[in-house]
Amino acid sequence: MWANPDWRGGLYPPHGGNEGWLADYARVFSTVEGNTTFYSGAPRAETVAAWARQAPPGFRFCFKLPASLTHERRLAAIEADLDAFLEALSPLHDRLGPMMVQLPRDFGPDELPRLDHLLARWPAGIPCAVEVRHREFFHKGRAEKALNRMLITYGANRVMLDVRPLFATAPATHPGLQHAQAEKPRVPLHVLSTGDCPLVRFIGHLDDDLNERCFTPWTERLILWINQGKTPYLMVHTPDNRGAPELARRLYSRLGEHCSLPSLEAFAGERQATLF
């Protein structure tokens, strides 16, 4: 989410509370990956109302379905709770980007009918993005073909998790890299767009040059999708996420060298620093 105190002095002013962090974030970036719903479930009504006030019309929240639905109940008999979750977010209606269905690592081909049932009743006005982690979905065999066919049928987007930079140093000696490598799945990168909102999760390294080399092939693909009329989403992470805003800005700049993009606003912490 945007509530990261490590971003003080950069994306956020160095002092003060966190009340204005979403507004400061949204002045620079146009979307955010919402992890808080994965761990905590539906936010309170007053929280959602505050987000709606602070986020501009063009901003998009990409929330994750709660782990209670995807990991504990594994998409089984979740209809009522899913409807209640989406209803809680309804004040954000026009500012909802792809809702992410992140599935457990052991959610395999035998459970695809549950995903099919979920997608068949998915609300038309909210894009959906599915992140699978089971190995069978990366072997280009029957299981992966069935998954991709299902996603294309329902217009759901397959999340592309790019962990190449993260695992470029293996085994890692840096504690931050070690923690991130233990947390993130080491899965192959399969680049394909199954819906109108291709979603890329780019997990960076501590080495900036390595990140930019790994990102270079994405520029052509992102531009292709844009020219096809699609709306790609790029989520940028670093091992401890302290440097994520700076990396996101740098990669955005690299993409802007190859296509016309609006300039990003200065970070609030940097803007404040120029006053002194």
The model's confidence at residue 110, banded by pLDDT at 50, 70 and 90, is very high
Does residue 93 surpass a pLDDT of 90? no
Which DSSP string corresponds to 62-111?
A: EEBPPHIIIIISTTTT-HHHHHHHHHHTGGGGGGB-PEEEEPPTT--GGG
SS3 at position 134: coil
Average pLDDT, the chain: 95
- Dist CA 126 CA 230 (whole Å): 15
Label residues 215-242 b or e (16+ Cβ within 10 Å = b). Answer: beebbebbeebbeeebbbbbbbbbbbbe
Residue 274 has pLDDT above 60, yes or no: no
Quote the distance between the C-alpha of residue 81 and its chain's center: 22
Q: Which two tokens stand for residue 223?
A: 């531009």
The count of other CB atoms within 10 Å of the CB of residue 199 is: 27
pLDDT over 70, % of the chain: 98
pLDDT of residue 16: 85
**Residue range 221-248, pLDDT digits in tens:** 999 999 999 999 999 999 999 999 999 9
Quote the pLDDT of residue 271. Answer: 73
Report the pLDDT averaged over residues 28-39: 96
With a cut of 60, say whether residue 275 has pLDDT above it: no
* Rounded-to-10 torsion of CA 124, 89, 63, 110: -60
Strands 157-158 and 128-131, sheet pairing: parallel
Query: Per residue in 120-173, pLDDT tens?
Result: 999 999 999 999 999 999 999 999 999 999 999 999 999 999 999 999 998 888
pLDDT at res. 273: 52
What pLDDT sits at residue 272?
63
CA angle 185, 191, 196 (to 5 degrees): 110
Closest C-alpha among 136, 73, 63 to residue 101: 63
Residues pairing with 26 in the sheet: none
Q: Which pLDDT tens digit goes with each residue over 248-269?
A: 999 999 999 999 999 999 999 9
Q: Which pLDDT score is estimated for 116?
A: 98
Instruction: Identify the pLDDT of residue 204.
Output: 97
The tens digit of pLDDT for each residue in 162-210 reads 999 999 998 888 899 999 999 999 999 999 999 999 999 999 999 999 9
Is the CB of residue 252 less than 8 Å from the CB of residue 216? no
